[in-house]
Amino acid sequence: MFALGPRIARSATGRYINETTVIGLISNNDESAYRDEVQSLEGGRGTHAPLHINGSEVERVTNFKFLGVHISENLSWSLNTTALIKKAHQRLFFLRRLKKAQLSPQILVNFYRSTIESILTNCVTVWYGNCSTSDRKALQRVVKITQRITGFPTPLHRGCPEEAVPA
């Protein structure tokens, strides 16, 4: 008799791992069936049969962009965060130009909200919860740069804890 089932354990890094537990009833000191089952489970790790839709094999990719969000196969959001920060830095150039043109702080904040904050908060409920600390700090740096340029606390920065960017 064998029992197969998922077991979820917490690793030293704090992430969850899905392991398979094999419990076997070994009778008459015959472990062969038990060992065969364990070997069949170990052999299939990391390899999946190709997925076919309407007879065509679906290509496996390491990441893709869906509705403006970069999704990687391991659900790490570093690629997405890097892309957002790059896009926000491109917009900061224009914010600096508006500051040099001596526009009012209200116009600068409005520009920030419409062009930079909208980028940083795009689908934030999907990716922000699983961002790494370094990604969160990089996002916070963009907000702090904006605050320095405008001279006023930006709406996204006001009332937020140090480690959090989008509220």
Domain ranges of the chain: 2-47, 63-150
Q: Return d(Cα 71, Cα 64) in angstroms, integer.
A: 6
pLDDT tens readout for residues 46-105: 566 788 889 888 888 888 898 888 988 888 899 999 999 999 999 999 999 999 999 888
Q: Which of 75, 72, 2 is nearest to 32 (CA)?
A: 2
Task: State the Cα–Cα distance between residues 39 and 51, nearest whole angstrom.
Answer: 24
Classify residue 76 as left (phi > 0), alpha (psi -120 to 50) or beta. beta
pLDDT at 147 over 80: yes
In single-letter form, the type of residue at position 150 comes to T
103-116 average pLDDT score: 88
pTM above 0.95, yes or no: no
